[in-house]
Amino acid sequence: MKIRQFTILLILLQGILSAQEWNGFVEFSLSPKFSQNKLIQSVSAVPANGRYYALGEQRLQLKFEHASDRGDLFFKIDFINDNVLENTKLDVREAFFTTTPVEWMDLKIGRQIQTWGVGDLMFINDVFPKDWISFFAGRQDAYLKAPSDAIRFSLFPGLSAIEAIDISLMPFAQSDLNLMTEGRFASRDPLLGQLLRDGRLTPTQTTSTEWNNAELAARLQLGAVKGFTTALYTYKGRWNNPLAMRLDSQTFTFSPYFAKLQVYGASSRGAALGGIVSVEGGYYYSEEDENGDNPLIPNSSLRYLALYERSLTTTLDIGVQYYGEMIRNFSSIEKNYQLLLAGNLQLLDSEAFKD
């Protein structure tokens, strides 16, 4: 991790010294709470200011762009003074190099913001990391998308039926920034709270940086048909949140971790009904719980949405969106959670919790 950060800063320094174009902004943000959240406690080096404020910071953002015949260099860096966490930090939000090695392919290497799909703040095939802390604390919407360290290929086959093929390889598994991890928000969870009080919950297991934990995402953009653009998606990696848990049968303790996940989906968007109509769907295949009979691993599910957008005036747009999920083997979930919520952990068959 230290080597990666040093490399990024070294490239950043070289870019700034030879910069030709740069700009940025200064921002002051404050999000006080109407009532004190007493669930937030001061632990170790994290103060309890989150009881009173979700956000209180001063931010300086600098952007640098340099274009040449060999490619384009881009940096976006935030210098943040955080009054809630009482610290100051440098956040390298984007740092990438783009080039066109051959006329039918673009290549982007480095830290970048990735996004695809057609939903409005609803994500199905967009499995790239999200920053939910920024979103709920009140930062700009752009900060909802967390950066990825990735190598991205964009292929243009020159066929009428296929506009482009995007392939993104993320060597290091990257998760969402969970809402409860910075001491800004807190809520009660009856199940996890009981496990914690009983000393049966251990810290989340992080995903190692081995190549077998790399993430791969791909998108196939098809040619427009009657004004509608369609795309197909696939992803192989892990859930973005530690929704699964491992059971140690010796100590009967639970360890949250990021289970393996595959996603297959499609989307379409075009003009219809006097506005813009978008539809998207995706199948979430839970590799480690194929039959849905392990209560400690998320079940496979089908997710879908439909969105209608229309401009009423030059300054007013409306949008209506519907989202749904169909969870496989839901009856097994109900049965197992009835036991868990009843607190009868000793009644659960340990064989059901095997990895």
Six-digit token pair at 309?
């957008």
Q: What is the pLDDT of residue 353?
A: 43
**Does residue 104 lie in a domain region?**
no
Overall average pLDDT of the 239-268 stretch: 88
50 or 2: which leads in pLDDT: 50
* CA–CA distance, 204 with 210 (Å, rounded to integer): 18
Same domain for 128 and 84, yes or no, is: no
Task: Note whether residue 102 is domain-resident.
Answer: no
Dump pLDDT digits (tens) for 108-143: 999 999 999 999 999 999 999 999 999 999 899 999
Query: Is residue 138 one of the residues assigned to a domain?
Result: yes
**189 and 87 belong to one structural domain:** no
274 occurs within a structural domain: yes
9-28 burial code (b ≥16 CB/10 A, e <16) = eebbeebeeeeeeeeeeeee
Residue 354: the pLDDT is 43
Residue after which a domain boundary falls, among 61, 96, 131: 96
Are 313 and 210 in the same domain?
A: yes
| 285 shares its domain with 174 | yes
Does residue 124 share a domain with residue 92? no
State yes or no: pLDDT of 6 exceeds 60. no
Q: pLDDT tens-digit profile of 192-250?
A: 666 777 777 777 777 666 667 789 999 999 999 998 999 999 999 999 888 888 888 78
User: Structural domain of residue 72, as residue ranges?
Assistant: 1-96
Using the 3D structure, point to which of 55, 71, 96 is the last residue of a domain: 96
pLDDT band at 338; cut points 50, 70, 90:
low
Together in a domain, 214 and 175: yes
The verdict on residue 105 lying in a domain is no
Within a domain: residue 101?
A: no
Look at residue 325 and tell me if it is in a domain.
yes
* 282 lies in the same domain as 213: yes
Q: Is 162 in the same domain as 120?
A: yes
Question: Do both 128 and 31 map to the same domain?
Answer: no
Q: In this predicted structure, what is the pLDDT of residue 255?
A: 86
Number of domains in the chain: 2
Last residue of a domain, one of 96, 130, 152: 96
Q: Which pLDDT belongs to residue 342? A: 55
107 part of a folded domain: no
Tokens 């400690």 correspond to what residue?
296
- Residues 287, 138 within the same domain: yes
Same domain as 58, residue 29:
yes
